[in-house]
Chains A and B, each alone.
Chain A
């Protein structure tokens, strides 16, 4: 629903005429929902900015929130929700900070001497404008949160898959945390690429930090081992905790002829023995 030009003028006048009073009432209503996590003065500043945003948009002749005149207001709203999302406020608390304008408006309209049909229609029109603004805030809030989650997921992916060179011709991947398909893919690609780059014919996959091994995780590890074999490198799985060993057997997972060792040290010893044999065989 868009505002008519008359309504825009009246809305704009109303905001201008009761600037201070409105901002105070608005802050008063919003501050209760935030339960003291934001100081009154700070909130008052934010609301003051928002109100100026509303005023500027309406003065520019904005009839709805999607037009070019409201661009600045939209920017203000999304900035508000971005900071709120990062500070850990809920979506409701963020939206209420905008919706409080309606209540504040009603209080001012109530105080008027003459209340007629126009006042009511105006209020409905204004409030639908504020509703749109509130929904926009909510959208930005969700977007900010999603961005935050995506960033964190990426950081986690980066953080948890180092491939380290353990010995001449031996690399190791200490796996930490849960191993889902996306991470398994990253681990696989990193490991194989490192094998090529360093020309190491041996790789140790250490699963000490993997909390649980199910058929899916085992499948990922097996795939990595087979891919490494195709490229001409041998993988050893190490760091199998007693509990994990029991799960592996209970699930009937077969590691076939892949060497498995209890600890990383054992795996390294195994690899060094193999390379020694090779050298003597020549």
Chain B
């Protein structure tokens, strides 16, 4: 079965989906990511879907589940690079992917994560 590679860059896990997201692949990715977050202790996950032509309701839900799982493990998830056609289709279907943070591209996604971590950590600094 095909697998989606999970790359570790600094404090971030980068997932670039380059194959068709079949249900099994999506579920496998969900498991892999949970394992990797625990193993590496990363605080951010970026999922790049710029190569995906189709995002169906199952994939949409899986993305939401991944976001929830990583939040439990103290990692923020950002979905980046959604194509306009995909966004339009999702809106027409009434799927607004609640609970998922999005950014236009990987760079902006990393910026968003860095900013989030910065905000989270600022209250800690004066206390210490």
A-B residue pairs in contact (CB < 8 Å), sample of 8: A193-B84, A196-B84, A196-B104, A201-B108, A229-B96, A229-B102, A232-B82, A278-B115
Residues of A within 8 A of B107 (CB): 199
Q: Contacts of A223 on B, CB cut-off 8 Å?
A: 88, 91-92
Whether A228 contacts B87 in the complex (CB less than 8 A), given A199-B108, A282-B115, comes out as: yes
In the complex the two chains form, is B88's CB within 8 Å of A189's CB?
yes
> Which residue on B lies nearest to A233, using beta carbons?
B104
How far apart are B46's CB and chain A's nearest CB, in angstroms?
11
Nearest CB on B from A281, distance (A): 5
Determine the interface band of chain B, counting residues with CB < 8 A from chain A: 20 to 34
What 13 new A-B contacts, CB under 8 Å, besides A199-B108, A228-B87, A281-B118?
A192-B84, A192-B87, A195-B104, A199-B104, A199-B107, A223-B88, A230-B97, A231-B84, A232-B79, A232-B80, A232-B103, A232-B104, A281-B119
**Chain B residues within an 8 Å CB radius of A201:** 103-104, 108
Q: Which residues of B contact A247 (CB under 8 A)?
A: none
Give the A-binding residues of B (Cβ under 8 A).
Answer: 78-80, 82-88, 90-92, 96-97, 101-105, 107-109, 111-112, 114-115, 118-119
Q: Which 9 A-B pairs have the closest CB atoms?
A: A192-B84, A232-B102, A232-B103, A227-B87, A230-B87, A227-B91, A231-B82, A232-B104, A231-B87
A230 touches B105 (CB 8 A): no
Please report whether the interface of chain B is mostly helix, strand, loop or mixed according to DSSP: helix
Contact of B88 among A188, A196, A199 (CB under 8 A): A188
Taken residue by residue from 222 to 243, chain A's Cβ proximity to chain B (1 for < 8 Å, 0 otherwise) reads as 0100111111110000000000
